[in-house]
A and B are shown apart, each in its own frame.
Chain A
Amino acid sequence: MPTLNVSTGDLAAVFPALALVVAGLAAAGAGAMLRPERRAAGAELCAYLGLAAALGAVILRLFRGGGWGPLGGFGGAVVLDDLALLLSLAVLTAAGLTVVLASDFLRTRPVPAGETYALLLLGTAGMVLLLQSAELITFFVSLEVLSLAVYALSGLLRKDPRSNEAAIKYFVIGAVATGFLIYGAALLYGATGTLSLDGMGDALRKSAGTAPLATAGLALLAVGLCFKVGAAPFHMWVPDVYEGAPTPVTAFMSVAVKASAFGAFLRVLLTAGAPERTAWGEILVGLALLTMVVGNFLAVAQRSVKRMLAYSSVAHTGYVLVAAAALRTPGPWARDAAASAVFYLFTYTFMTLGAFAFLAYAGRRGRDAEDLDDYAGLARRRPWAALGMTIFMASLAGLPPTAGFLAKFLVFRAAVAAGEIPLVLVGVLTSAVSVYYYLRVVVRMYMEPGEEAADGRVGPERPAPGAAWVVAAAAFFTVALGILPRLYVDLAYRSVQALAR
C-alpha cells in the first residue's frame, strides 16, 4: 500500500483547479454564513478571487515562453501542458464573464448566490482538470464533476418548470453518456492494460492488428463525448436544455463545456487514439457532415433566438469536428488541424457568450429576449448593444473581418490540406445557409419597427450593467481576434506541437 505523497510539483500542476475549488467552497460558505444582504456580494467576491488566481496562474505559465515544459503531476494522472493551459484560458474567461452575467441575474431572480457561484466554480474546476487529464480515471472523474455542476446549474430556477425540465433532461441524457464513456474506458483498459492515455497509445502501436477491442472502446468514448459536445445525432437534448436553463448558465455551458470536452477529446484522439486514426477518422467524417447539416438546417426553422443559438451551437460543433476529422491524416497538416480546432473553440467562446449576454441584456418584462419579435427595432433603442450583437452574428456566420471567419477559415484550410474536400464543400455551403438565420436577427434589430414599451420608456426595463460589459468585452475580442490573431494563432500552434504528429 503506497502512502499518498503529494509534492509541491503535484500541487503546482493542479493549482488552477485547486484555487477554483477553494474559492467555490468559500463562496458556498459566504452564501451560508454572511448576513443575508452581504451574501451575494461576498460570494461574488470569492468567485472573482478564485478565477483571478486561476487565470493568473494560467497566464503566467502560458507566457513564460517555451522554457517551461509540460508539468506532470500525481504520477502522470494530470499534465499541465500548453493545450490544457490555452483551453483553460478560454474556460476561465468564459467562467469570469458568466460571473458578471450571473450578478445581474441573481439580483432579479429568487436564487441563492452562494450555491450558484459555488457550482459555477466547481464546474469550472472540473473543466480545467478535464483538460489536464492524462489518464482515464482523472478524465472520467473531472468530466463528472463538471457535468454534475452544470446539471444543477441548469435547474437553478427551482420554481420554473422549464428550468426543471432542462435539468432533468440534461441529467438523464448525461447519465447515458456517462454509461458510454465508462464502458468505453473499460474496454480500452482491457485492450491495453493501462489507464494512461500515452500508455494506451504505445500499447496500441505495438499490438497492431489486435485492436478491435480498443477500437470499440474508443468509439464508445467518442459517443460519450459527442453527447457532451452536442454532435448530431446525439444533439437532441441541446435545444431543450439550452432553452430551459437560465441564460447565464446556457452561455456558460455552451462555450465552456464545449471547450473543455473538445479539448479532452483532442487529447484522447491524439494520444491514445493516434494508432487508430483510420478507424475513428471515418466515424468523425460522418459525424461532422451530419452535425453541420442538422445544426444549420434546423436552426433555420427556429423562432426563438435561444433555440436558434442552441442549434447554432450544434452547427459549430460540426465545424470543430471537421478539424478533428482532418486529424486522421498524419503528417505536417495534422498540427494545422489540431491548432485550428483550438482556435475555433477559443473564438467560439467570445462570440457565443456575447450573443447570450445580449439575450440577457435586451430582455424586457422580466424575461430574456428569447423570441425574434423581441428584437424588432432594438437598434434604435440600443444602438451600441445592437452593434455588438451584429458583430456576434456576423462572426458566428463566418463573415470577415471577425474571429469567426478566421476560425472557419483555419478549419477549412486544414481540411483541404488533409484532402477532406467533401467536408469543406459541405462546410462552406452550410455556412452560407447559416448567414440567413444569423442575419435574420440583424434584420429584426435594424430593419423592422419595434413597439415601444407601454410606459413610453425605451430600452431594457431591468438594468443589466453586467450584461452590457460582457457584450462590449466579447465584441472587442471577436473583432480583435479577427484582425490581429497572430499571438493567439501562434499559441494555438504551440499548444498542439507536442501532441499532433
Chain B
Amino acid sequence: MKIPILSLMTFAPALAGVALSAVRPERTGVLRLTTLGVTLVVLLLAGAAYVGHDGPLVAYEDAAWMPRLGIRYTMGLDGISAAMVLLTALLMPLAVAASWHQPKGFLLALLFLETGMIGAFCALDLFLFYVFWEAMLLPMYLLIGIWGGPRRVTAAVKFIVYTIAGSVLMLAGILYCAWSAGTFSVLDLQRMLPADPRMTLATQQALFLAFALAFAIKVPVVPFHTWLPDAHVEAPTAGSVILAGVLLKMGAYGFLRFAIPFFPDAARSFAPALAALGALGVVYGAAMAMAQTDLKKLVAYSSVSHLGFVMLGIFSGTIEGAQGGVLQMVNHGLSTGALFLLVGVLYERTHRRGVDDFGGMARVMPAYAAIFLIVTLSSIGLPGLNGFVGEFLVLFGSFPMRRAATVAASLGVVLGAVYMLRMYRDVFWGPVTRPEREKVPDVGKGELAYLIPVTALIVLLGILPGLVLSRTERAVRDVVLKMETKTHADAERLDR
C-alpha cells in the first residue's frame, strides 16, 4: 500500500492539536515539544514529497467524499505546490520556536493553521481547496485577535472581513465552474473549462475576476492591501511570519493554480493590467516603507513591494518572469519571515519597534546585527543571496513584454535598497543613542536555533537557486503556455 504522505502531513498537525487540547495548559514541556516535533515531522515529509514529486500535476491521493455532489478528496502536488508546501513546512518549526513562551491555545492555533495551509496547497478538488482556504482564516484570526498587539481586535476583524469578502465571490465562481463543467476536480476543470465553447470571453472574464479578487486581496495587490499593515503590526511574531511567509503566497498560488489555467483567455486579457498593478505595488509599497518608523510596519510595506514583483513575474507572459515570480515567493517567505523573526527578538527584549528607539545596536548585539545584515541584504536583492535571482529573473522576463511596468519596478529595487539600508544604519550603526539599550543581551542559543537555519537557506538559495527553479520549471511552463499561447508555433517560440 502506498503511504498517503500528503494526507499525513496535512492532518498530522490538526490531529496533534486535538490530542494536545486534552493536555493541561500548565504542562508546557509536553505542549511545546509535541508541537515542535509534529512540525519537524511534517518538514521531513514535505522534504520527501519535494524530492519525490516534481512531475506534472497528478492526483496522488484520491477518495470519494461526497459522491452525490461530485466532490472528492483529491490531493496532489506539482513543482509549484511542492515548493510551497516545503516553504510552509520550513517556516512552521521556526514559528513554533519563536512562540516558545506562548500559551497552549497559541500553539494549538498554529497547528490547525498548518493543516489549513498545507491542505490548501495540496488540494486538487475545488471544494476541498475552499474548505482548507477558509479553514486557515480562523486560527490566524485568533492568533492576531487574542495574542496580538494593542489594536489587535480591529486588525483581526479587518483581516477576516477583507479576506472573506474576497473568498465568498470566489465561492460563487467555484459553484459556477463546477456546475458548467459538472465536476469539482481541479485537473478536469483545467482541461475542460478552457475548451468549453460556452465559456465566452466575457464569462471567462467575469469568473476570472471572481477568483482574482479573492487572490488579489490575499497577495495583496495594491489597492486591496490595506488590511495587511494592520494585521502584520498587530500580529504576534509567529503570526507575522506565517502571514508573510505563507498566507500571502496563497494568493499568488491561487492565480497560478486556478485563475490562469481555468480562464487562460481572460488571464491573457488582464495580464498587462495585473502586471501593471504588480509594478505599482512594487513602487507604492517601497514608497510607503520609506515613510515608516515602526520596524514591523516597514517590513509589512516591504512585503507589499516584494509581492508586487511576484505579480509582475506571474503576469509577465514569459517563463523566465513567471519562474522568477515563483522563486520570489519562496524568497520572500524566507527573507521576510526572517525579518519578522528578527524584529520579534528585538521587541521581546525592549518592547520597542520604532527605528528611532534604537541606534548603535551592532555594538551591543553583534551576532544579531550580523544575521540582520544578511537578511537585509537578501531583501534588497544583493547578488549571492536569494532575493537577487528572483528579482533579476522577474525583471529580465518581464522586460520584453511589459516594458513600462518593468522600468517602474526597477525603480522599486532602488527604493528598496534605500529604505532597508537606512533602517539598518539607524538601528545598528553609530553610537548607542539610548543608554538603557547598552544592556540588551545578544541572541541566545534558542534564538540562534531558528535564526541560523533560515539565514543558511537564504545564502544557499542565493548560490543554488536551481534547488527551487529546477522543481518548478515544468509546472510554471505549463501555466505560462496556457495563458500566453494560442498556437503550437507560439509555444515553441516561447519554449526556445
Contacts and interface: CB of A to CB of B under 8 A. Distances in A.
Interface of A: 383, 390, 394, 399-401, 405, 409-410, 412-413, 416-417, 421, 424-425, 428-429, 431-432, 435-436, 439, 443, 446-448, 485-486, 489-490, 493
A37 B145 CA distance: 49
A424 B178 CA distance: 14
Contacts of A410: 69
Interface of B: 65-69, 105, 127, 130-131, 134-135, 137-138, 141-142, 145-146, 152-153, 156-157, 160-161, 164-165, 168-169, 171-172, 175-176, 178-179
B68 A400 contact: no
Contact of A400 (B134, B145, B165): B134
A413 B160 contact: no
Nearest to A440: B157
A418 to B, nearest CB: 10
A399 B175 contact: no
A413 B173 CA distance: 10
Contact of A446 (B68, B142, B165, B176): B142
Nearest to B167: A432
Nearest to A445: B146
A399 B157 contact: no
A329 to B, nearest CB: 13
A400 B130 contact: yes
B171 A428 contact: yes
B131 A401 contact: yes
Contacts of A424: 172, 175
Contacts of B68: 486, 489-490, 493
Given A399-B137, A432-B164, A436-B161, A443 B176 contact: no
The 4 A-B pairs of least Cβ separation, nearest first, read: A428-B168, A400-B131, A416-B175, A447-B145
Nearest to B104: A383
Contact of A447 (B127, B153, B176): B153
A412 B172 contact: yes
A340 B461 CA distance: 50
A433 to B, nearest CB: 9
A416 B176 contact: yes
A334 B115 CA distance: 36
A448 B153 contact: yes
Contacts of A446: 142, 145-146
Contact of A432 (B105, B156, B165): B165
Given A400-B135, A410-B69, A485-B66, 14 more contacts: A401-B135, A409-B171, A412-B172, A416-B172, A416-B179, A417-B179, A425-B172, A436-B161, A443-B145, A443-B153, A448-B153, A486-B65, A486-B66, A486-B67
23 contacts: A399-B137, A399-B164, A400-B131, A401-B131, A405-B131, A405-B134, A412-B172, A412-B175, A416-B172, A428-B168, A428-B172, A435-B164, A436-B161, A443-B145, A443-B153, A446-B142, A446-B145, A447-B145, A447-B153, A447-B156, A486-B66, A486-B68, A493-B68
A400 B66 CA distance: 15
Contact of A436 (B127, B145, B157, B172): B157
Contacts of B65: 486
Contacts of A416: 172, 175-176, 179
Nearest to A439: B160
Contact of B138 (A399, A443, A490): A399
A103 to B, nearest CB: 28
A432 B161 contact: yes
B171 A412 contact: yes
A490 B65 CA distance: 12
Nearest to A333: B179
Contacts of B66: 485-486, 489
A431 B164 CA distance: 9
Nearest to A401: B131
Contacts of A412: 171-172, 175
A417 B178 CA distance: 9
A413 B175 contact: yes
Contacts of B105: 383
Q: Which of B66, B171, B176 has the most CB of A within 10 A?
A: B171
A416 B164 CA distance: 20
A252 B248 CA distance: 43
Contact of A394 (B127, B138, B152, B153): B138
Contacts of A409: 127, 171, 175
A436 B137 CA distance: 13
A91 B364 CA distance: 69
Contact of A489 (B69, B137, B146): B69
B112 to A, nearest CB: 11
A413 B145 contact: no
A399 B168 CA distance: 10
Contacts of A425: 172
Contacts of B164: 399, 432, 435
A485 B69 CA distance: 11
Given A416-B176, A417-B179, A447 B146 contact: yes
Nearest to A340: B69
Given A443-B145, A446-B142, A489-B66, A435 B160 contact: yes
A428 B169 contact: yes
Nearest to A490: B68
Nearest to A384: B21
A443 B171 contact: no
Contacts of A394: 138
B156 A443 contact: yes
B185 to A, nearest CB: 15
Contacts of A428: 168-169, 171-172
Nearest to B25: A383
A432 B168 contact: yes
Nearest to A417: B179
Contacts of B146: 446-447
A424 B168 CA distance: 10
A413 B71 CA distance: 12
A406 to B, nearest CB: 8
Nearest to A430: B168
Contacts of B175: 409, 412-413, 416, 424
A73 B15 CA distance: 50
Contacts of B67: 486
Contacts of A400: 130-131, 134-135
B113 to A, nearest CB: 14
A489 B134 CA distance: 22
Contacts of B152: 447
A443 B157 contact: yes
Contacts of A448: 153
B157 A439 contact: yes
A425 B69 CA distance: 21
Contacts of B176: 416, 421
A249 to B, nearest CB: 31
Contacts of B171: 409, 412, 428
Contacts of A417: 179
A399 B161 contact: no
Nearest to B133: A400
Contacts of A429: 165, 168-169
A448 B153 CA distance: 9
Nearest to B64: A486
Contacts of B137: 399
Q: Which of B153, B165, B168, B179 has the most CB of A within 10 A?
A: B168
A424 B210 CA distance: 13
B180 to A, nearest CB: 9
B250 to A, nearest CB: 15
Contacts of A432: 161, 164-165, 168
